Structure 1
């Protein structure tokens, strides 16, 4: 489990074909504290560490990424040089600073627009119809592994929805969100509580 609070931005430094893709990511973590088999959220995708090396501040770890995972996540993150939002798995006793995040991407969204607003960025993301019922104003959503609060939701005639986010300067600086551009695809994970509420409502309507 994760919280959507990114600890650092790593970079993809190598991609090798081993049946699955073995992706090597640079990071500033202490490799002594990275266990083989540990889970790390990589731009919102929960992946398992299979190799590690380097020293604290100049470390790296490798993960195996299946074709299924690649087909269901933002393609830009699976390229050499791509920046990756990193978050180690939550430990018992850690502060829950964002919201409960599983690291399982529900769907891809697309950046519709980015507008400066004060010192922040107002970002509009288009979400597919399957996710529209789970996105609500003041609710939580994970975008490329970052826990964010939805400001507004505008349902579209084709069943999709556009939702607005406010990206403060700090978030833009310490995550990849400051590098967003219109047309970019992003990993979306809906709030697990919204998922259960929607399921309960659908069952009550059938009763």
Structure 2
């Protein structure tokens, strides 16, 4: 007998999550191609072959969709710094791991970050504030990592805060120029960028 979703909450939640992902994917492609202001929920539904109420069953508004899309790249970047900080490694080892994972996170969310950069002005104030808080958390953790390297004698930096902003800008901007079928594979590019970031930090080991 087929499982009844009403009596299996886990299955029901999984199906709902898949539907949300479909909606987010369709909306992100439209926002990327047409811009947020030139896209409608009707257009999102049309590209999916569903009705507008289907969208409203999972998202209250177009603004909520934009916030979800914009949050993904920032959240993935936070995962990268948290993973590195949790490692039992030297500051240099943590920075190398972070740099690789950070670049991969940005490029795996290339479309989302492009939308965030272009459409940040259209976020609702509460969503803008929430994303700003996530960015500050990211910057604080990266500064902490760089300072630990300076204190351990592994990094040569006059101002870890400026260095953190520079590293963040260097990697975040990769969404503009990266091409999936370019000269370097994603792994090879991540290695190159991590070496560059260690050099920027003046790593001695």
- Both structures adopt the same fold (TM-score exceeding 0.5): no
TM-score, structure 2 normalization:
0.23
Indicate the structure with greater strand content. 1
Q: Rg: which structure is higher?
A: 2
- Larger fraction in helix: 2
TM-score normalized by structure 1? 0.23
